Amino acid sequence: MMATMRCKAVAAAASMQATPPRDPALSGATAAPGRGDRVETAFSTQGVWTSRGLTRRHFINRFCAELFRACASLGLLMLALLLASICRDGMHWLDLQFLSSFPSRFVEKAGIKSALWGSCWLMGLTALFSIPVGVGAAVYLEEFAQPSKLNTFVEINIANLAGVPSIVYGMLGLAIFVRGLGFGRSVLAGAATMSLLILPFIIVASREALRTVPLSIRHAAYALGATPWQTVRGHVLPAALPGILTSIILGLSRAIGETAPLIMIGALTYVAFVPEGPLDAFTALPIQIFNWASRPQAAFHELAAAGIIVLLAALLSMNAVAVFIRYRFARKLKW
């Protein structure tokens, strides 16, 4: 009896091992998902969401890039159209006679000699006033001034003055230099007004240039026994010179194109002589261009376009000098 039951058990086990497992999909039964199946499903779902997010980010990136490219292209296109219009109207007036003649009511005899020399006088005196004061103020505030409420107040006001409209400086120059100090409508009054205009920009930009000098250079100089002034004069200023010179030239580039302050202080629109001293009356390129552009004759508008070309050439030359100075001095820095 026991032998018979043992034989039946062995036969049943052999039959179960020989029978292949049934496929739930074929048999119609639903198999319970195991742990491995749940992990695989989670990873596949996460992969779908990651793919969607990556596609969305790539689309936004391409859209923003194309949008910014379109904005830059639009700005360049408008600038090209403006330059093309100015060159078309004024290029045929540019010759030696135009540069060496005084303004005249006759278009064929009109030139910009007095305005060109007046701008040279104005920029020379402006640089003479603004460079020492601006760089000196930047060096003091950045290297020597101790933290205090007064210094914080001064720094905040200098930063705010950099954004004040130029007409406000014109009114200030009219009240202080023209009437208060009695300079009159002279080159000196115009240069002092322009110096006030660009001083905040020079101070802020020069301080940024001084901040780019590593502290390790100062600490090394102090470790060798140098005084603060010796450190600034021998190490900090030479290292920050490219940025300081760039800020000065860019400030002068702004001053040479300003018109509103000169109109406020009473710069003459018609000058048939060259200034011979700082107290002489003067005119400048923006004033002369404004005078020609305000006349009803179309020929004077073409003269204004020629004057704009000369002014743009001066501005581009000054900016090119700034780029060259920055590149040349930057190559000498070894840190």
Positive/negative CA dihedral, 202, 203, 206, 212: negative
What angle separates helix 113-139 from helix 187-211, to the nearest 10 degrees? 40
Average confidence score pLDDT of the chain = 82
Most confident option among 10-24, 202-216, 256-270? 202-216
Instruction: Give the pLDDT score at 71.
Output: 94
Q: What is the mean pLDDT of residues 37-57?
A: 61
Length of the chain: 335
Give the burial string for 281-311 (b: 16+ CB within 10 Å, else e).
Answer: bbbbbbbbbbbbeeeeeeebebbbbbbbbbb
Whole-angstrom distance, CA of residue 50 vs CA of residue 48 = 5
Instruction: Give the pLDDT score at 48.
Output: 52
> Distance from CA of residue 146 to its chain's centroid?
30
Share of the chain above pLDDT 70, in %: 83
Read off the pTM. 0.74
Whole-angstrom distance, CA of residue 307 vs CA of residue 303 = 6
User: Going from the N-terminus, what domains does the chain have, and what CATH number goes with each?
Assistant: 94-330 (1.10.3720.10)
Instruction: Give the pLDDT score at 45.
Output: 54
| Residue 142 DSSP label | I
Contact of 268 with 282, CB cutoff 8 Å: yes
Q: What is the pLDDT of residues 114-124, one digit of tens each?
A: 888 988 999 99
Asked if residue 72 has pLDDT above 90, the reply is yes
Asked if residue 103 has pLDDT above 60, the reply is yes
Contact of 284 with 114, CB cutoff 8 Å: no
Whole-angstrom distance, CA of residue 122 vs CA of residue 285 = 11
Whole-angstrom distance, CA of residue 140 vs CA of residue 207 = 9
Whole-angstrom distance, CA of residue 47 vs CA of residue 39 = 12
